[in-house]
Structure 1
């Protein structure tokens, strides 16, 4: 009897949250219900998703940057279908696979500097783990620096470089000798490097949590300081890379930045098969793998899987053929400027910042008494609550998927795919303006919803602590 996956999906359609309550993560399922994001999506194409009731949504998050080229890209899908029909071998292990060599060559050609070898991973977090090991092996030093508000993944080593205590506190102690420095502060970085025991400084060229953009020259000077003090400069381009910011790597916006290690993942997958890549210099490679005996001291079972390599190769082809990197820059300006024009009209809006298709909308306490009261009430209930007053109506009333940029910050983040149309952008700007108009009526339906959410969150938090 053949396996009928489509029949299985149809039979269970709409039971997503029931199944997650029982088998996967009931806490997250409850969170999604609380913020009104409990949708059951059944179809996807390009920048759009459809739920099981047939409603269309514009995805302004693209899976937190996985779907730079949209969902179910037909060229990448066809490449995978063609490959599967060949019965080609994969993961032989005692082999040097052809496809990983081809993908490594393509990635090297897109770097802004000379990087010599590529190690393939399954995720960005695994790439960060590799970078930590490489840096310590290459320099013989123990310490790893990271920036405040950094996010590099949630595995143990990557979590040790996380700038958010919400993620860290349950799992400490983490890796020793991992130290935080302020983002965009060269003096603080040099002081930390001057200790002489730093193996590497790992930095997101645009921070994902908050879409924080460094000052011009910061990345270039940070790399120079690392070289001066014998540390590696590691660019975590997991979210910001692959053309999202209007350059193949976000660090290229700062001129002649010369990273020692570059980490890629997310959209390299084309949205189909998880894959990541760590690119590094030859001298670093030689110290990690110094002999034939130690040629596999760092490895990953699924790292060079053939399907993943095909997905990566096809993704790079589509990225080039469609001129999507230039499109990301143009779309980002269109979105950023459209939102920026709303700032003088609405008290809650503080600023809009963007680099290509990494966009942040930051909010702040308003001047008028009534709105200020609403702001203070929301923040007393939960410091992460206020941005849901924007994301919820965007989803429920306008079919726009967005989300808060991090814990305890009043920032809504956009990571839309490069395949948005100009009409999609205009539709989003109109929807956002409508949400702002509703938010600036206090009291009103939005604030009543926030109050219910706050009470639910507080009640669940007390119950959870009591049972812990």
Structure 2
């Protein structure tokens, strides 16, 4: 079988196949918002459709493609790994590549993190963090924050602070306690009740790009240790340069007990997750020879994933992408922030590095307020689609709404954006926000377009 022939011969069937065998609701969503393109290739920060139109990808696979797509050095490393005919997943053996990647991660992560566990995804690392915390401390309670996102498997879902993802999947794992994000008093109140194994948080919440007060994370870490619990930093999206530092916790000089990593570490090719923790935690979990396999992941240390991780870390360093992320992200924020004074629906521009959000709010002027209410009465958070959909349709920029029911547009671009990419992005954002300010006719027209496409999609499917 030749994959290239298979792709060429059936290239137009992707939506039909997904509708028949996979998630038909996703097909309906993409067709309704006019995102149903046939991409045929990708390179760097760009996607290309069958007409060779170029799209600027500011979604980057929810943060997976921090190095851009199909990075030549990662491709070469993976090819050479396959050509080496290495023994893979022997299981009753230990992998050299896994050892090398673990060694590198320990050198790059915050001080005191000395042991590594490999998995296949971010949610798997969170599951491991929950288990390790409970076993190491002998306690059961896990504290998490409202609005957070840690994954969709059962344990990580139990630690996710958004009921939209939880509804109908209960009962979830017991002893998970939700508190407000950025609220030290609430954190200490739960810690003081006792039996807390760990506090898990994203340093910057991905759903909304919510940045904590400067004292929040350092004081949270102090409180957690005061009460004998562990501090878990979920850096699955924020880590590896996304926020302009290797790890987002570095912005506040915080040293976690457990660090969860994924997404970028894959190089955009092979699923991989890594948990890095303090040695004493690891040693308590794997405390006897008969417990050597008490927790594991069958494919977690596979050679391709380990090679992709090693190559990714090399590229991040050799191309100075951490520094580039900080500089480029700051430039984007500096350029977009003045738009707040220009457009009354734009409430805030925030972010760190290449993790940026535009938050929209109900305008005060009568005509713009009417536009807002037309969209929000149809569906909460719909105004933000008045930004993301035209960005895609008119400017070929792929972006996302930051979370369910939010009027926040989020950008997590590849860290490799050029000056011309930034100009493309800023010019397009300015244009679509300006058009959103034209009044209720724009909102009505947009609503009709979505309704018409939704009906056509329903009839065609």
How high is the TM-score relative to the length of structure 1? 0.96
How big is each residue's C-alpha offset from its partner over 1:153-178, in whole Å with a ceiling of 9 and x where there is no partner? 00010100111111001201110011
**Contact 2:371/2:443 (CA < 8 Å) preserved in 1?**
no
Match of 1:345 in 2: 342
Match of 1:320 in 2: 317
Mark the runs of 5 or more structure 1 residues left unpaired by the alignment. Answer: 464-468
Give the Cα separation in 2 of the matches to 1:61 and 1:459. 27
SS at match of 1:199: strand
SS at match of 2:289: coil
**Contact 2:143/2:179 (CA < 8 Å) preserved in 1?**
yes
**Contact 2:64/2:268 (CA < 8 Å) preserved in 1?**
yes
Q: How many residues align?
A: 459
Match of 1:86 in 2: 84
- Counterpart check, 1:118 vs 2:124: no
Match of 2:376 in 1: 379
- Counterpart check, 1:206 vs 2:204: yes
Give the Cα separation in 2 of the matches to 1:242 and 1:174. 31
SS at match of 1:343: helix
- Per the TM alignment, residue 436 of structure 1 is displaced from its structure 2 partner at its CA by 1.1
Give the Cα separation in 1 of the matches to 2:25 and 2:81. 39
- Counterpart check, 1:26 vs 2:29: no
How big is each residue's C-alpha offset from its partner over 1:308-340, in whole Å with a ceiling of 9 and x where there is no partner? 000000000000000100000011111111111
- Counterpart check, 1:290 vs 2:296: no
Give the Cα separation in 2 of the matches to 1:420 and 1:267. 15
- Counterpart check, 1:361 vs 2:361: no
How big is each residue's C-alpha offset from its partner over 1:220-242, in whole Å with a ceiling of 9 and x where there is no partner? 11111110011100000000001
**Contact 1:385/1:454 (CA < 8 Å) preserved in 2?**
no
Choose from 95, 111, 122 the match for 1:97. Answer: 95
Equivalent residues in 2 for 1:250-265, closer than 5 Å: 250-255=248-253, 257-265=254-262
- Per the TM alignment, residue 459 of structure 1 is displaced from its structure 2 partner at its CA by 12
Match of 2:180 in 1: 182
- Per the TM alignment, residue 51 of structure 1 is displaced from its structure 2 partner at its CA by 1.2
Check 1:8–1:446 CA distance in 2 against 1; reply closer, same or farther (3 A cut): farther
Check 1:42–1:62 CA distance in 2 against 1; reply closer, same or farther (3 A cut): same
**Contact 2:371/2:442 (CA < 8 Å) preserved in 1?**
no
Mark the runs of 5 or more structure 2 residues left unpaired by the alignment. Answer: none
How high is the TM-score relative to the length of structure 2? 0.97
| CA-atom RMSD in angstroms | 1.6
Choose from 277, 285, 300 the match for 1:280. Answer: 277
Check 1:165–1:455 CA distance in 2 against 1; reply closer, same or farther (3 A cut): farther
How big is each residue's C-alpha offset from its partner over 1:275-315, in whole Å with a ceiling of 9 and x where there is no partner? 01001111111211110011110011001000000000000
